[in-house]
Amino acid sequence: RRLNVRVNIELLSISNPVHKKDLAVRLTDDTDPFFLYNLVISEEDFQSLKSQQGLLVDFSAFPQKFIDLLQQCIQEQNKDIPRFLLQLVSSASVLDHTPVSLNIVETNPFKHLTHLSLKFLPGNDAEIKKFLASCLKCLKEDKVMLEEKLRRTEEDLTRQLSYTQQSLSEKSRELDKLKNEWTSYTTALTNKHTQELTNEKERALQAQAQYQQQHEQQKKELENLHQKSIQQLQTRLSELEVINKDLTERRYKGDSTVRELKAKLSGTEDECQRAKQEVLSLRRENTTLDAECHEKEKLINQLQTRVAVLEQEIKDKDQLVVRTKEVLDATQEQKVILEESTEKKQSHIEKLETTIKSLSAELLKANEIIKKLQGDLKTLMSKLKLKNTVTIQQEKLLAEKEERLQKEQRELQETGQSLRMKEQEVCKLQEQLETTVQKLEESKQLLKTNENVITWLNKQLNEIQMAKKLETSASTHGGVRTAISPHGMPDRPSFPSSGIAHPISPLYAFQNFPELAHSKNITSQCPIQFSTQLSKMNRCSDGQTATATSHPANKENGDNLGLESKYFKKKDDSIPLRGLSQNTLNSEYLKPTLSTKAQPSPKAAVTPASAYFPG
């Protein structure tokens, strides 16, 4: 007998009173609940089994090897000649409760090899009851789970049914609207085409009659002229030949334009064929999608009738499309007939080429209108197919994807704007850096020049103090004269780098000249005037003038010390140069302390010096 048996393998660990491990194996049959065999193998039992059957595996690895052998039996069970077999052999009947041996046998053409043989004991009544109780408990749990799943699926199906009914009603309304719009649009187009065709025919007949009358009149005039003089006829012939050449050229041009139009027509026909092929491929895709819809609708029996109605509506739509194609073919045939009539008119009347150009332009317009109609047809077909094929879930997915795309596009735009703003900020910062660097360089140069000026002023102050000391010592020793340069001023070094190139110190201009002005015994010929804004020195002996202007006293860095004009521009980021205070100059250096009389030589000349001091 052949049965499907369930094998349960459990590793039991017992810690009371001694820690040990047991392997419990249970054989059951899903169809027969009273089929129950148990086997418990301890480590001691496994040692005896290992020695009896010659096993090479320890107790810890034995369960996994046993499971591997069972899996091989499961893999080979569906074959005609299985390689591995699981044999359950009982010596007596099942009711005797005798032990049963479970053998794992490998078959080959030579011998049946038993890899493992285990003896199982049949379950008693208590074990069978316990097993049946566990099975019943599992079945109840499964039943509860299945009932919950069934209830959920019913709710989902009812929701889907209601939603699909609503969507079907909406789709049917949209289809009715589209049908009405399409019928009205096609009727309007047909009326327009018929009116345009009738108008063109009437215009062509009128133009033909007019040109025939003109031709007859020209013939009569030519006959009269031919009778009058042969010379005029020859001149007329030459003129007509020239005109004939022009007309032939125009005719060739018209033929070329007609060929180009024919080529464009062939291209449009190819595009129509491609569009038809695309329509066929889309129909095939539609059929495949319909098949998938049928497979899904097998689960919902109530929706089959409505799906059949939808399929009939799709067929009606296809018939409408075929009818529209037939209308297009009829219009194309009418267009071909019109082209043949125009060619006949060209062969009969050569002088009507100007009218042919106008007709060709109108034909181009008609072709453009036909192309627009074809494009509208394609768009309508694509809309109908999309509405039939796209399901509710796909529409939801499309909406979510569109929202994600819009969000990503907004994020991209925001990031692009932020990047642009940051680039602009970087450019502004670079410009500020450049300006700050330039200002730093200028301030460094100003600092250098100010340091030079300060050092020079300190030197001058030291020299003046030394000169004062010498003068005081000379006055005490009895009329010793102060040491002055030949021009009445002590020598000082010039600073070409700082822009100071005057040989006279400005302190002598404030100190020595007042003494000379107030002394009564000096017979100088150069009076000096001091004011708050301008001091002038007029030299009468040599006829030369020297001016020393002093600016307002409350400005710190605007006073000129004989420097260039670029060093006196006030800047916001420059370090102000603190000059000598007014009190020190007035108290120590600008007071006339000498009472000695200095008598300069009559040829002594005062060199001009411009000095600017704060105060």
The pLDDT tens digits of the residues spanning 232-241 come to: 777 778 888 8
Q: What is the DSSP string of 308-352?
A: HHHHHHHHHHHHHHHHHHHHHHHHHHHHHHHHHHHHHHHHH-STT
What's the 3-state SS for 105-135? Answer: EEECCCCEEEEEEEEEEECCHHHHHHHHHHH
Whether the per-residue pLDDT at 61 is higher than 60: the answer is: yes
pLDDT digits (tens, 9 = 90+) for 112-122: 888 898 988 88
pLDDT for 108 equals: 85
Q: What is the mean pLDDT of the chain?
A: 76
Q: What phi-psi label fits residue 611: left (phi over 0), alpha (psi between -120 and 50 degrees) or beta?
A: beta
List the domain boundaries for the chain. Answer: 5-123
More confident residue, 494 or 88: 88
Instruction: Compute the distance between CA of residue 530 and CA of residue 590 in angstroms, rounded to an integer.
Output: 13
Instruction: Compute the distance between CA of residue 222 and CA of residue 429 in angstroms, rounded to an integer.
Output: 89
How much is the average pLDDT of 523-550?
Answer: 36
Whether the per-residue pLDDT at 513 is higher than 60: the answer is: no
More confident residue, 524 or 245: 245
pLDDT for 234 equals: 77
Whether the per-residue pLDDT at 208 is higher than 60: the answer is: yes
The percentage of residues in the chain with a pLDDT greater than 90, rounded to a whole number, is 18
Q: In what order do the strands lie in the sheet with 84-90?
A: 6-14, 20-28, 36-42, 112-122, 100-107, 84-90
More confident residue, 1 or 107: 107
pLDDT for 477 equals: 58
pLDDT digits (tens, 9 = 90+) for 182-192: 999 999 999 99
Written as six digits, the tokens of 444 are 């460094």
Instruction: Compute the distance between CA of residue 344 and CA of residue 83 in angstroms, rounded to an integer.
Output: 91
Written as six digits, the tokens of 567 are 């060093």
How much is the average pLDDT of 161-167?
Answer: 93
pLDDT digits (tens, 9 = 90+) for 408-459: 888 888 888 888 888 898 998 988 899 999 899 998 999 999 999 999 999 9
Look up the pTM and report it.
Answer: 0.29
pLDDT for 389 equals: 76
Secondary structure of residue 100 in the 3-state scheme: strand
User: Of the candidates 309, 321, 310, which has an alpha carbon nearest to the alpha carbon of residue 283?
Assistant: 321
How much is the average pLDDT of 201-205?
Answer: 90
pLDDT for 533 equals: 35
Instruction: Name the least confident of 149-153, 162-166, 302-306, 445-449.
Output: 302-306
Whether the per-residue pLDDT at 198 is higher than 70: the answer is: yes
Residues 6 or more apart in contact with residue 250 via CB below 8 angstroms = 353
What's the 3-state SS for 43-84? Answer: HHHHHHHHHHHCCCCCCCCHHHHHHHHHHHHHHHCCCCCCCE
DSSP state of 92: S
Instruction: Compute the distance between CA of residue 478 and CA of residue 305 in angstroms, rounded to an integer.
Output: 144
Instruction: Name the least confident of 109-113, 119-123, 472-476, 515-519.
Output: 515-519
How much is the average pLDDT of 31-53?
Answer: 88
User: What is the CATH code of the structural domain delimited by 5-123?
Assistant: 2.170.210.20
Whether the per-residue pLDDT at 94 is higher than 90: the answer is: no
Q: What phi-psi label fits residue 371: left (phi over 0), alpha (psi between -120 and 50 degrees) or beta?
A: alpha
How much is the average pLDDT of 193-208?
Answer: 90
Element (H, E) at 456: helix 392-476
Element (H, E) at 458: helix 392-476
Whether the per-residue pLDDT at 515 is higher than 70: the answer is: no
